[in-house]
């Protein structure tokens, strides 16, 4: 058996770690010059999106031997709309670092991999088919899978972000729902340390958003963050991603090719995060190759999560700022406690099932 992994991101590396545990050393092909060769940004594991699993970091470590250290656990989430603010406390998840920094998730995973990584690889999928018995496609986006006619794009998004310097509580994350800042989208702040944080706005590339001035939106969001946090922050780096594909593969496995991470469709449309999904698809694909589980059956719950997430996304996109004010205000109390701190209820699935008949109208 010869296994090739296309891509040394979260899913590709978690796949390699798991294969090695069962005695198989894959060859990893990465087109970039190093692991994590991308812009630096913060992301989160949000427990409300992984219910009934409360602690994805512990789960990955104890059950699969994939060990990760977050920037911090999230003990408080501040939600903002145009005119309202709410605060939710609890064991809400974890903030993480991505990209070129030495303690990013990608770099942490690389230290756990013994297999050979070939950087600056020019090998195509077709090339690898001739040399390997099994291929794990983990290239990081759906574009490659689209070429294979095995991917459905639901929409694309633009992300405009910055790293800002100031004073932050690394255990508090923040999100903004305001159409004046991010039309039909969202903004968020994720601390990277006590001195730096990542701010991002994301919005769908719908025709009505095509003429938006990205710099103007970033400046407007930056000013709003300074105002809400009562600090004069300094921008030390910026990044922009356009037309990033959000979608899902048609089949998670074709022959002996496994589609994992963003090639599977790990990004959940609701808030645009998908780290747990990326990692777990990499692990599951490796366990299938090793005869431990059936990959297609194992990822069915992720298909349901994706469907539920897109229902929530489509619903909130229809909200005007007054409705977003009502939504944010309602989270400051019992509803927020239920949504973010319920121990067993998968609130995303529960809410989306209520909304599905409405969104189909």
* Cβ pair 235, 225 in contact under 8 A: no
Residue 301 has pLDDT above 70, yes or no: yes
Whose tokens are 């694309």? That residue is: 156
Tally of CB atoms within 10 A around 297: 11
Alpha-carbon span 47 to 340, nearest angstrom: 7
Maximum separation of any 2 CA atoms in the chain, in Å: 59
User: What token pair was written down for 359?
Assistant: 């969104």
Residue 238 has pLDDT above 80, yes or no: yes
Distance of CA 217 to the CA centre of its chain: 22
Amino acid 344: pLDDT: 64
Sign of the C-alpha dihedral computed for residues 160, 109, 282 and 300 taken in this order: negative
How many Cα atoms sit within 13 Å of 128 on the Cβ side? 24
Amino acid 354: pLDDT: 56
Alpha-carbon span 142 to 248, nearest angstrom: 8
Which secondary structure element, helix H or strand E, spans residue 341, and what is its range?
helix 334-341
Tally of CB atoms within 10 A around 154: 16
Which has the closest alpha carbon to 71: 99, 47, 101, 103? 103
Mean pLDDT along residues 79-99: 95
Amino acid 235: pLDDT: 98
Nearest-Å Rg of the Cα atoms of the chain is 20
* Cβ pair 156, 234 in contact under 8 A: no
Which has the closest alpha carbon to 320: 147, 117, 81? 81
Whose tokens are 């991010």? That residue is: 182
Q: To the nearest 5 percent, what fractions of the chain are helix, strand and coil?
A: 35, 25, 35
Residue 81 has pLDDT above 70, yes or no: yes
Q: Is 56 left (phi over 0), alpha (psi -120 to 50) or beta?
A: alpha
Sign of the C-alpha dihedral computed for residues 161, 164, 170 and 176 taken in this order: negative
User: What token pair was written down for 201?
Assistant: 């706005």
pLDDT greater at residue 354 or residue 263: 263
Amino acid 356: pLDDT: 54
pLDDT greater at residue 295 or residue 342: 295
Which has the closest alpha carbon to 266: 247, 251, 284? 247
The architecture of the domain spanning 3-359 is 3-Layer(bba) Sandwich (3.50)
What ranges make up the beta strands (E) of 117-271? 117-118, 134-137, 151-165, 172-176, 186-191, 196-204, 234-249, 253-254, 257-259
Amino acid 333: pLDDT: 75
Cross-strand pairs, 246? 155
Backbone angles phi, psi at 236, to 5 degrees: -115, -10
Amino acid 137: pLDDT: 98
Q: In whole angstroms, how far apart are CA 263 and each of 113, 172, 238?
A: 21, 31, 26
Tell me the per-residue pLDDT of 166-209, one tens digit each, with 9 for 90 and over: 999 999 999 999 999 999 999 999 999 999 999 999 999 999 99
Average pLDDT, the chain: 93
Residue 339 has pLDDT above 80, yes or no: no
Residue 320 has pLDDT above 70, yes or no: yes
Amino acid 353: pLDDT: 63
Task: Give percent of the chain with pLDDT exceeding 90.
Answer: 81
* Cβ pair 312, 357 in contact under 8 A: no
Residue 357 has pLDDT above 70, yes or no: no
Amino acid 349: pLDDT: 64
Respond yes or no on whether the N-terminal peptide bond of residue 196 is cis (omega within 30° of 0): no
Alpha-carbon span 339 to 110, nearest angstrom: 35
Tell me the per-residue pLDDT of 116-174, one tens digit each, with 9 for 90 and over: 999 999 999 999 999 999 999 999 989 889 999 999 999 999 999 999 999 999 999 99
Q: In what order do the strands lie in the sheet with 3-6?
A: 117-118, 27-29, 3-6, 134-137, 257-259, 253-254
Amino acid 348: pLDDT: 65
Amino acid 330: pLDDT: 87
Listed by start position, the domains of the chain span 3-359
């Amino acid at each position: 058996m010869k296994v090739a992994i296309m891509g040394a991101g979260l899913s590709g590396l978690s796949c390699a770690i798991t294969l090695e545990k069962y005695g198989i050393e894959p060859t990893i092909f990465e087109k970039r010059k190093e692991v994590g060769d991308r812009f630096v940004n913060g992301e989160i594991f949000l427990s409300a999106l992984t219910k009934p699993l409360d602690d994805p970091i512990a789960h990955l470590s104890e059950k699969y031997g994939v060990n990760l250290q977050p920037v911090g656990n999230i003990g408080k989430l501040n939600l903002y709309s145009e005119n309202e603010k709410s605060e939710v406390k609890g064991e809400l998840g974890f903030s993480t670092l991505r990209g070129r920094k030495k303690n990013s998730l990608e770099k942490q995973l690389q230290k756990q991999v013994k297999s050979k990584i070939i950087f600056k690889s020019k090998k195509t999928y077709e090339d690898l088919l001739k040399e390997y018995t099994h291929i794990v496609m983990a290239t990081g986006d759906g574009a490659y899978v689209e070429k294979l006619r095995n991917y459905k794009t639901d929409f694309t998004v633009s992300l405009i972000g910055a790293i800002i310097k100031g004073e932050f509580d690394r255990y508090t994350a923040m999100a903004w729902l305001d159409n004046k800042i991010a039309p039909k989208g969202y903004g968020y702040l994720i601390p990277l340390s006590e001195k730096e944080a990542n701010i991002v706005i994301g919005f769908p590339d719908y025709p009505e958003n095509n003429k938006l001035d990205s710099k103007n939106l970033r400046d407007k969001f930056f000013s709003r963050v300074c105002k809400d946090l009562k600090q004069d922050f300094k921008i030390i780096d910026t990044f922009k991603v356009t037309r990033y594909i959000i979608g899902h593969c048609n089949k998670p496995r074709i022959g002996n090719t496994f589609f994992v991470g963003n090639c599977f469709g790990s990004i959940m449309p609701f808030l645009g995060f998908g780290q747990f999904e990326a990692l777990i698809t990499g692990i599951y694909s490796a366990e299938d190759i090793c005869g431990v589980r059936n990959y297609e059956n194992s990822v069915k719950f992720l298909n349901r999560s994706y469907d539920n997430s897109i229902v929530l996304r489509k619903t909130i996109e229809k909200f005007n700022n007054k409705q977003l004010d009502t939504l944010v205000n309602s989270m400051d109390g019992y509803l927020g406690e239920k949504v973010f701190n319920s121990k067993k209820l998968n609130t995303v699935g529960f809410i989306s099932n209520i909304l599905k008949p409405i969104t189909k109208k």
